[in-house]
Structure 1
Amino acid sequence: MIKIAVLIPEQYKLLSVAAILEVFEAANKFQANNHVEVAFDISLLTLNNRVDGFFKSYKSDRIENKESYELILIPSFTTDDMKGTLALNQAFIPWLIKQYHYGAEIATFCTGAFLLGATGLLDGKAATTHVDACSAFSAAFPSVQLKADKTVTQDGRLFTSGGATSTFHLLLYLLQIHCGKDLAVKTAKIFAIDMDRHNQSYFSSFQPTRHHNDEIVASAQEKIESNYQDVATIEEMIKDIPSSRRNIVRRFKQVIGITPIEYLQQTRIEAAKKLLEQTAQQMTEIIYNSGYNDPKAFRKVFRKTVGMTPSQYRDKFQVR
């Protein structure tokens, strides 16, 4: 029987914990109904031994008890202040490091990746998180090889998933590893999950950071967003900003995490996505209105950024 620890950190997302428990309980139930020993022994791990009433039926433990686990699951957080949330959960960090060195697998769901990132265990390794948290994650953990478009990643004994329903894709992947594909497929059918979704790019929204005090970078952001349909070069974007091109590019990348030209592309693609979702404009109009003159270049950038063609995106998301 595999010993699982589901962390109950401060400011955890209830839905994330519930999804984790539901899937593993369903797998155990399948096995029990088939008169097979259940695969998972589930415990909830807390810092203060307080467990919400929703989870009173589960075993709970504290990290001070020095129990060893084979699989540790970190749920998503519900917070607008990730730095503060990580500070509240600081005590989990050395515990996670020790468990990993004892041989545990660690899996994170959505923004739970931030807690694993804070351990340093992900440095130099592949990871993903919620698409809209990727910029903040990259800024906080630049040594991690962030795969923003991926639904699930595995690097050795470390697993991460993207946002929301990507949780289920990682859970099914873990079931397949530990119990085989047959049980994973049965569980997928119970929860109506498509097992073959590997990309989450098309769920993302470009939400550049505004929480900085760099006036030059803020000015460049404003110029790009106001003139994305017309400007073509960095020089055009920054010609009225009192700073050198080299300095602006350096500061922009440092503060925002991407270059000004990448910011322009992201702004244009986000504009195109909105037009595809909300209007009946012809594709040639959308290309022009989002700042592109070359249809081939537009489609190439769109597919690379979003993970599907503009037509596929419209078919999937257009408000009818």
Structure 2
Amino acid sequence: MKHLSILVPEGAILGAIEGPHKLFSEVNDLLVNMGRDPLFKVQLVGLSPQTRLSKGLFTVHPELTVKDNFKTDLVVIPAVHGNLEEAIEINRPFLPWIIAQYKAGAEIASLCLGAFLLASTGLLHGKKCATHWLGANEFRRMFPDVTLVPEKIITDEQGIYSSGGAYSYLNLILYIIEKHAGRDIAILCSKVFEIEIDRGSQSPFIMFNGQKEHEDEPIRQAQLFIEKNFSDRITVDQLASMFAMGRRNLERRFKKATSNTVVEYIQRVKIEAAKMSLESSRENVNEVMYKVGYSDTKAFRTTFKKLTGLSPIQYRNKYHRAATA
């Protein structure tokens, strides 16, 4: 039987504790109903025997604490909320325990913004990681040595897993269940909890808000210019001249400040505007394409799918108000 430790950090989101607990427990119930032995021993692990969440609205009583002498096979780090730097400091006593369990052979899985706690251990150095797209810029700032893949829902590297944002963590739990209990059990769990299995991208949900939390004022002004004039043809040379910089200097500073090249930033702003039109307007795809400054149909569709994971038609069918009514 595999021992699963679901952490109960200070400031954790209750659903990110209860959700994996329910799914892993359901695996045991399904196996028992099939006449098979349960697979997981699922226990909550805290820093103390009692943890208050949501400003005292909920209280969780972990069965174990990190001071107890036990070995686990999988550590699940749930999402936390609020000020993430403060969350890391409050929960710092978890970090050496997580590192020790990993070195002893345990797998580690972070859910959503739990990636910030996982990254604080140093175990993600040089590895890929997913998290909620809303926290992407802050994650890059705090952990530049980790390769963030914000479009991914699941990463799996050397016994360390991470998941995308919010309830997409359920897809990671199903993925782990499939690895340990088999495809048939994972499919049964997906049906019981009505979770769409094998979903690998959170790109359709990402709303691009240009990274402006930096100190490079000319680059911030360049970003604002792009966002106000995205329907026009904007070139790197034009921006370099406008802000009295050499092209290479602009490119270097823009990438450092925004985590995007100038061209990538222009594309993201255009596609974000296209998404909004496809969600709410009656314009057809070609009209939307011209409106955001594209004249090449193939280039527009290719860029749109690269950034959202869907074609413009698929995106409209999925998110347009009339289509979803």
TM-score by structure 1 length? 0.92
Distance (Å, rounded) in 2 between the aligned partners of 1:90 and 1:263: 36
Q: Report the more deviating stretch, 102-111 or 190-199.
A: 190-199
Contact 2:46 2:62 in 1 (8 A): no
Given residue 321 of structure 2, which amino acid in structure 1 is its aligned partner? Answer: V
* Among 135, 138, 141, the residue aligned to 1:139: 141
Partner of 2:78: 75
> Is contact 1:6–1:45 with CA below 8 Å preserved after alignment?
yes
How far, CA to CA, are the matches of 1:32 and 1:293 in structure 2?
59
Cα 1:267–1:259 shift into 2, 3 Å: same
Contact 1:139–1:257 under 8 Å retained in 2: no
**2-structure distance, mates of 1:285, 1:19:** 43
Following TM superposition, by how much is the alpha carbon of 1:311 offset from its aligned partner in structure 2, in angstroms?
0.7
* Alignment deviations for residues 161-187 of structure 1 (CA, whole Å, 9 cap, x no partner): 112232111111111111122221111
TM-score by length of 2: 0.91
- Does the 8 Å contact 1:126/1:145 carry over to 2? yes
- Once the two structures are TM-superposed, the CA of residue 110 in structure 1 deviates from its matched residue by 1.0
CA distance, structure 1, for counterparts of residue 5 and residue 198 of structure 2: 27
* 1:129 paired to 2:131: yes
Shifted more, 109-118 versus 145-154: the winner is: 145-154
The answer to whether residue 11 in structure 2 is matched with residue 8 in structure 1 is no
Partner SS for 1:65: coil
Superposition pairs for residues 43-192 of structure 1, below 5 Å? 43-52=43-52, 59-79=62-82, 81-192=83-194
Match of 2:298 in 1: 296
Could you tell which deviates more after superposition, 229-238 or 261-270? 229-238
Any idea what SS the aligned residue of 1:30 has? helix
- The alpha carbon displacement at 1:300 in A equals 1.1
Greater displacement, 124-133 / 241-250: 241-250
- How many angstroms apart in 2 are the aligned matches of 1:204 and 1:66? 42
- Shift, 1:290, TM fit: 1.0
C-alpha distance in 1 between matches for 2:59 and 2:177: 22
Instruction: Give distance in 2, aligned partners of 1:199 and 1:213.
Output: 32
Q: Partner amino acid for 2:78?
A: P
Q: Distance in 2 between matches of 1:125 and 1:140?
A: 15
**What RMSD over aligned residues (CA atoms) do the two structures have, in Å?**
1.9
Post-superposition shift, 1:35?
A: 4.2
Quote the sequence identity (%). Answer: 36
Retained in 2: the 8 A contact 1:12–1:77?
yes
- In structure 2, C-alpha distance between the alignment counterparts of 1:314 and 1:71, rounded to whole Å: 40
Instruction: Give the 3-state SS of the residue equivalent to 2:303 in structure 1.
Output: helix
User: Does the aligned pair in 2 maintain the 1:276–1:313 contact within 8 Å?
Assistant: yes
Q: Secondary structure at the match of 1:182?
A: helix
The letter for the 2-side match of 1:289 is K
Which amino acid is the alignment partner of residue 318 of structure 1?
Answer: H
Task: Give, as a single letter, the amino acid of the residue that structure 2 aligns with 1:217.
Answer: I
Separation (CA, whole Å) in 1 of partners of 2:290 and 2:256: 31
SS of residue paired to 2:145: coil
Whichever residue aligns with residue 183 of structure 1, its letter is I
Q: Which residue number corresponds to residue 29 of structure 2?
A: 29
Give the whole-Å Cα distance in 2 for the aligned partners of 1:66 and 1:144. 31
| 8 Å contact from structure 1 (residues 223, 238) kept in 2 | no
Deviations 1:89-125 (A, max 9, x none): 2222221111100000001111111211121211222
Q: Assess if the C-alpha contact under 8 Å between 2:133 and 2:165 holds in 1.
A: yes
- Name the SS for the 1:3 alignment partner: strand
Q: Which runs of 5 or more structure 1 residues have no equivalent in the other structure?
A: none
Q: Which residue identity does 1:43 align to in structure 2?
A: Q
Give the SS at the match of 2:170: helix
Q: CA deviation at 1:242?
A: 4.1
What's the offset of the Cα at 1:59? 4.7
Q: 1:212 to 1:66 in 2, by over 3 A?
A: farther
Query: How far, CA to CA, are the matches of 1:68 and 1:31 in structure 2?
Result: 24
Q: How far is the alpha carbon of 1:251 from its aligned partner?
A: 2.2
Instruction: Give 1:202's aligned residue.
Output: 204
SS in 2 for 1:43: strand
- Structure 1 position 48, deviation (Å): 3.1
Residues paired across the two proteins, number:
318
Query: Structure 1 residues 240 and 59 mapped into 2: Cα distance closer, same or farther (>3 Å)?
Result: closer
Q: Is the 8 Å Cα contact of residues 81 and 87 (structure 2) preserved in structure 1?
A: no
